[in-house]
Amino acid sequence: MDFPLSREAAVRAEELIPGGVNSPVRSFSGVDAPPITALKGEGSFLLDLDGNTYLDYLMCWGALIFGHADPEVTEAVAEAAAGGTGFGLSTAVEAELAELIISAIPSIERLRMVNSGTEAVMSAIRVARGFTGRNAVLKFEGCYHGHSDALLAKAGSGLRTFGLPSSAGVPEDFTRHTLIGRFNDLDSVEDLCMEHGEDLAAIVVEPVPGNMGVVEPRNGFLRGLRELADRTGALLIFDEVITGFRVEWGGAQTLYAVTPDLTCLGKIIGGGLPVGAFGGRADVMRLLAPEGPVYQAGTLSGNPVVATAGKITLERLRDERPHDELAARAGRLAAEIEKAARAAEIPVRVERVRSMFTTYFADHEITDAASAQMADFERYGRFFRLLLERGVLLPPSGHETAFVSTCHTDDRIAETIRAIHSVFDAL
Ligand SMILES: *Cc1c(COP(=O)(O)O)cnc(C)c1O
């Protein structure tokens, strides 16, 4: 496999765009590999500038549950675009999409569209603060909720309970109200609630984290969060930007039967176009302008082309319900990775929830950010590069999630399994 055109494009982009990328993980620096420049996609395949094809398990970071360039979506998008790409006025399709989402996720009574997952979580937190009249937000180490200032926080030292900025350019003052808990550790949450419960506006969590790699919520963790939120009067916000419509038609909240007050969505609901949405209890959402005093807005929010892509995607998901089948296929991949690793005597844990999975090179249990970070990411890099040479594209970071789409048919899964076995022989 050769990449002269991809490399040339990357070098040119580096002179124009910071790091040559419009989002950091696209640089492939996490796997010590040259970045791929995508040309086009079709179904489960991605084609790069040099004409190499890859069986794609990145799937636009989970946004594409029906694979690349799904004809139903692309035709509807083309038709919508031909009728005007944006009006800055309401269109009927926005309400149709909202109705589909509300029918799938019963905890969402009212919904507002935005343009990214970042905006969705940032806005959900604002309305939670407006509703409760409180300031603090509790998040979990390793969970990613977009790049808004207050949420780019990491755990401080043992002496401080408030987060420290995890990015340059974020004043410490801006993360002063962000508390950091440990995922799957209710005691850590209870301690923070004891200390700060009276000022706690919201607990925000990825119900199945995908951004430290997949971690399964264990032992009633999500249910425990619901109880602690109720006890302190904080709102529970599920960031289902990945899990929404991915793990189930009704999202992770349906899978685990825990009802949040607010839910954030993105990725799948835009069918691969830029999107976000947040929604939940009507009495909370009513506080948003123009009904209420919490300001939130967007020139292109609910854009008709995006909303059309989302509507077609969700209609198909509603009718086809591929979630069990996708989970079974991802389960076969996970089992084969573990089997090949055992045969090669390489310690591996595959964490999988439904059709999302992460391969950790580790022989300890993965329960939170600390245990996830102890995996061998150098080895993941080799695994990634060897698979790429065999035409299989995994996420270009061991801290991320692989996704199976409806286009990953049994034949494609079988090809992937052959590549996996050949890679473990070479690792
Ligand atoms: C991708 C993601 C976001 C951010 O969405 P953007 O559209 O990239 O801003 C937020 N939360 C989670 C859980 C995500 O996976």
Helix H or strand E encompassing 389: helix 377-389
What is the pLDDT of the chain when averaged over all its residues? 96
Closest ligand 1 atom number to CA of residue 209: 13
Q: State in Å: Cα 213 to ligand 1 middle.
A: 14
How far is it, in rounded angstroms, from Cα 232 to Cα 190? 10
Name the burial class of residue 158, with classes exposed (0-12), middle (13-18) and buried (19+) by CB atoms within 10 angstroms of its CB: exposed
| Confidence band for 2, pLDDT divided at 50, 70 and 90 | confident
Q: State in Å: Cα 147 to ligand 1 middle.
A: 8
Percentage of residues of the chain with pLDDT beyond 70: 99
**Amino acid 112: pLDDT:** 98
Q: Which domains does the chain have, with CATH numbers?
A: 4-65+322-426 (3.90.1150.10), 71-320 (3.40.640.10)
Question: Which residue, among 155, 207, 200, 163, has the nearest Cα to 182 in the 3D structure?
Answer: 155
CB 185 within 8 A of CB 368: yes
CB burial string 227-242: b at 16+ within 10 A, e below: ebbeebebbbbbbbbb
Mutational test site, ligand 1, from 143, 241, 278, max ligand atoms within 8 Å of CB: 241
202 phi-psi bin (left φ>0, alpha ψ -120 to 50, beta other) = beta
- pLDDT 10s digits, 52-78: 999 999 999 999 999 999 999 999 999
**Amino acid 57: pLDDT:** 98
How far is it, in rounded angstroms, from Cα 380 to Cα 90? 46
| Confidence band for 160, pLDDT divided at 50, 70 and 90 | low
Q: Identify each DSSP E strand in 119-274 by its residue range.
A: 136-140, 153-154, 164-165, 178-181, 200-205, 235-239, 262-266
Which residues fall within 8 angstroms of residue 73, CB to CB, at 6 or more apart? 66, 271, 272, 309, 312, 313
Its pTM stands at: 0.98
- pLDDT 10s digits, 165-221: 999 999 999 999 999 999 999 999 999 999 999 999 999 999 999 999 999 999 899
**Amino acid 1: pLDDT:** 76
144 counts as catalytic: yes
Mutational test site, ligand 1, from 59, 118, 151, max ligand atoms within 8 Å of CB: 118
- pLDDT 10s digits, 383-396: 999 999 999 999 99
**Amino acid 254: pLDDT:** 98
Closest ligand 1 atom number to CA of residue 143: 13
CB 137 within 8 A of CB 304: no
* Residue 159 confidence (pLDDT) above 70: no
Q: State in Å: Cα 355 to ligand 1 middle.
A: 18
- pLDDT 10s digits, 80-121: 999 999 999 999 999 999 999 999 999 999 999 999 999 999
The one-character DSSP state at 162 is B
